Structure 1
Amino acid sequence: MRYTLRQLATRIMALTAEIDDLNRRLAAVLNRHTPALLARVGVGPDTAAALLIVAGDNPRRLTSDRSFAALCGVSPIEASSGKTHRHRLNRGGDRQANSALHRIVITRLRCDPRTRAYQQRRLAEGKTPREIVRCLKRYVAREIYKAIPRTGPPAATAT
């Protein structure tokens, strides 16, 4: 039993070292190519990579922050009924990107005083916490869109 536990501990330590090495490499690549993205509050290497993957190898196809928000599944959709006027998040889009935006919003709600002030202001206006997170996801998507580099292969032209 001791031998098995020692082998498992050795394997865990080796895998942890491998994960740490891959995380350092990912952070170095992202710092080299998109330092403005990593400079945003709440954006780490994992979330930045997920958002860049969604943008794809040709980010110039994203014509506006609205198209990026729709791609991430955070574009608002009207869900009004009667006298109640509401919006909900688009259920479509890339779920990994939506999850990355959610992690950024939750981190900002914990750490960023501007985001907490926004949350308090919107709560005072009568918004629910869910609606506030929806709005924040859209704001973050707009901010991330501006930080994504627009370089890539030339656009294909029809001949």
Structure 2
Amino acid sequence: MRALARLHADLTREITDLDQMIGPLVTAINPALLAVHGVGPDVTGQLLVTAGGKPDRLRSKASFAMLTGVAPLPASSGRTHRHQLNRGGDRQTNNALRRIVNTRMGTDARTRAYVTRRTKEGLSKPEIIRCLKRYVARENYSVLTPTPPEDLASAA
């Protein structure tokens, strides 16, 4: 039991040290991402790893959604028209987007109003979360990718 308690104390200390180190690193890389509501240092780090490791795959918001596993896939049958989440993509980034959605559902008035409205429209909570994750992915894509300079965009 003592060995287990020492291991727990050592790991807790290591987690604390790493938490203190990651904040300044992600702030230096992309401070705008930390300014987004619900995005903390851990989530920022995960989004930067996903975007930074595959810059050629981030051509559009849709490709980023597919990469993160939040692109809606048709799951309709008969007269029912609905979508489900893509089960592919980076699961850690998908989890990070879920943490943002959970934070916003608890603290953001606009998100709570959206959830209430969509619930009245007949959507289930998983379907609402799917929609919110897609919205969060679109929003974070805009922050993650720099806008191209005007002279390069017009030359292409």
The TM-score by the shorter chain falls in which range? 0.7 to 0.9
Runs (4+) of structure 1 moved beyond 6 Å? none
Q: 1:103 aligns to what?
A: 99
Count of aligned residue pairs for this structure pair: 147
> Is the contact between residue 102 and residue 137 of structure 1 (CA under 8 Å) also seen in structure 2?
yes
Identity of aligned residues (%): 55
TM superposition shift of 1:106: 1.0
Aligned residue identity for 2:96: A
1:15 Cα deviation after fit: 3.2
Query: Within 2, Cα distance between the matches of 1:95 and 1:15?
Result: 24
Q: C-alpha distance in 1, partners of 2:53/2:82?
A: 35
Query: Hey, what's the Cα distance between the residues in 2 that align with 1:58 and 1:96?
Result: 15
Find the residue that maps to 1:77 and give its secondary structure: strand
- Distance apart, 1:45 and its partner CA: 1.4
Question: Relative contact order, CA 8 A, sep 6+: which one is greater?
Answer: 1
Could you tell me which residue of structure 2 aligns to residue 31 of structure 1? Answer: 27
- Rg comparison, structure with higher value: 1
Unmatched runs of 5 consecutive residues or more in structure 1: 152-159
Is 1:138 the counterpart of 2:145 in the alignment?
A: no
How far apart are 1:57 and its partner, in Å? 3.4
Alignment of 1:106-125 (within 5 A): 106-125=102-121
Cα shift at 1:22: 1.1
| Stretches of structure 2 lacking an aligned partner (at least 5 in a row) | 148-156
1:22-61 paired onto structure 2 within 5 Å: 22-61=18-57
Supply the distance in 2 between the matched residues of 1:56 and 1:21 (Cα, whole angstroms).
Answer: 24
Shift of 1:16: 2.3
Whether the aligned pair in 2 keeps the contact of 1:59 and 1:149 (CA below 8 Å) is no
Q: CA RMSD in A?
A: 1.9
Q: CA deviation at 1:38?
A: 1.1
Report the Cα offset of residue 59 of structure 1.
Answer: 2.5
- The corresponding residue for 1:89 is 85
- Greater share of helix: 2
Letter in 2 for 1:25: M
Q: Deviations over 1:10-56 (max 9, x none)?
A: 55444323221211111110011111111111111111111221113
Q: CA 1:8 to 1:91, structure 2 compared with 1: closer, same or farther past 3 Å? A: closer
